[in-house]
Amino acid sequence: MFAVFPSTRKLLTRTLMALSGLALAACNTVTGTGFNTGAPINTSDPVPVALLVPAGSGNTTNDILARNLENAARLAMRDLTGATIDLRVYSTAGQPATAAASARQAVDEGAKIILGPVFASSAAAVSVEVARDNVNVLSFSNNAAIAGGNLFVLGPTFQNTADRMVSYAMSQGKSTMVIVHGTDVAGSQGRDAIQRAATRQGAGVVGTVGYALSQQDVIAAIPRIKSAVESSAADAIFMTSDTASALPLLSQLLPETGISSEVAQFMGLTRWDIPPQTMSLPGVQGGWFAVPDPGASSRYSGQYQAAYGASPHPIGGLAFDGIAAIGALISQGDGGALTRGSLTQSAGFRGASGVFRLLPDGTNQRGLAVATIRNAQLSILSPAPTSFGRAGF
């Protein structure tokens, strides 16, 4: 458990990032994957699509998520033109073995592509189970480590966010960065994603400061961060932490030592606007972070609310995205619509939170806006791109 000051404890409830979005299609060459095809389809008939959801475990949270995923998928089906999907829903109980068995049943019953499951271990098990059947899997995971072959991840990745943020920073003249990260798995992965983004785009990483996930260790890291910034004259501090761990402490303590966004621009790899109370913290004012396309996200939320009388689950939009992408490809009337070559077309798809595309390595790229906080309110600095031919990509 991450220890925090009592004054900030109430702000640290972890809220899932709105993960929705749909993609526009692309022209990438897939080589060396061993899974460069996919199940052939007859676009004249309804195309069987399996949706794997985490129901059946007795876990209320997973059951709610399962209903939301199915609702979102069926909502996307209403918008399809020139394509008919035969959606078949299977439960995984949130377990790899059950997920693999459900995937086997789905393929034996005719499924041409699998949408889901949620958890990385289950997605990996499903991928292995159906690989020999030449069936592609569009999982709801955001774990890039499992991606590749016949397995794609639809969830937003650290790399996508890091690339967008570094690109924006460079456009604003911020080119020398100190990375501040937790030493846990997520923090280390975030650090590496920022480093790769900086290398690709010519930014300089002039310092890296890690900390263990405790109040004591974050406090102990403050002098090291200050020294790294001042000794290198860094013009940006890129933090991997979210609002449920070290961000409130870092944003409070760094300005108290004389290091604020006016000295070195604060940047984040996670959203700083959730929960909303976080936006009232003095230290996050003026910080930069990425958010899904607000306009697209609002439209999707309104559609879901109107259809089901409730707000959509943050992960539910991924099911909407998957169906919209599959439907867009089927509507082209090509029997090879669900092959890797078609799925990774470079134009991508348009969906619940804007544009996205699937990449040959099994990860994805999403159109993100860059935001800041001014007077405790979210403000967009750079709008999300509406296609993959514009700035930000």
| pLDDT single digits (tens) 345-366 | 999 999 999 999 999 999 999 9
**pLDDT band of 37, cuts 50, 70, 90:** confident
Reported as a single tens digit per residue, the pLDDT across 121-157 is 999 999 999 999 999 999 999 999 999 999 999 999 9
Nearest-angstrom CA–CA distance, 53 and 66: 5
Contact (Cβ atoms closer than 8 angstroms) between residue 115 and residue 68? no
Question: How many C-beta neighbours within 10 Å does residue 43 have?
Answer: 17
**pLDDT band of 393, cuts 50, 70, 90:** low
- In the predicted structure, residue 81 carries a pLDDT above the cut 70: yes
Q: Quick one: angle between helices 317-330 and 294-308, nearest 10? A: 100
Q: What are phi and psi of 172, to 5 degrees?
A: -100, 15
- In the predicted structure, residue 338 carries a pLDDT above the cut 60: yes
Reported as a single tens digit per residue, the pLDDT across 276-298 is 999 999 999 999 999 999 999 99
Nearest-angstrom CA–CA distance, 135 and 199: 35
- In the predicted structure, residue 19 carries a pLDDT above the cut 80: no
Find out whether the peptide bond into 275 is cis, omega within 30 degrees of 0: yes
Percentage with pLDDT > 90 across the chain: 89
pLDDT at 11 (0 to 100)? 34
pLDDT at 188 (0 to 100)? 96
**pLDDT band of 389, cuts 50, 70, 90:** confident
- In the predicted structure, residue 22 carries a pLDDT above the cut 50: no
Q: Which residue has the higher pLDDT, 28 or 115?
A: 115
pLDDT at 6 (0 to 100)? 38
Nearest-angstrom CA–CA distance, 351 and 80: 12
Who's near 141: CB < 8 A, 6+ residues apart? Answer: 118, 119, 120, 123, 153, 154, 155
Reported as a single tens digit per residue, the pLDDT across 284-336 is 999 999 999 999 999 999 999 999 999 999 899 999 999 999 999 999 999 99
Percentage with pLDDT > 70 across the chain: 90
pLDDT at 3 (0 to 100)? 41
Question: How many C-beta neighbours within 10 Å does residue 306 have?
Answer: 9
- In the predicted structure, residue 101 carries a pLDDT above the cut 60: yes
Contact (Cβ atoms closer than 8 angstroms) between residue 225 and residue 258? no
Handedness of CA 136, 142, 143, 144 (dihedral sign): positive
**pLDDT band of 30, cuts 50, 70, 90:** very low
- In the predicted structure, residue 370 carries a pLDDT above the cut 80: yes
Q: What is the mean pLDDT of residues 210-226?
A: 97
Among the ranges 7-16, 33-42, 173-182, which has the highest mean pLDDT value?
A: 173-182
- In the predicted structure, residue 215 carries a pLDDT above the cut 50: yes
**pLDDT band of 390, cuts 50, 70, 90:** low
Nearest-angstrom CA–CA distance, 194 and 392: 15
| Beta bridge pairs of residue 354 | 351
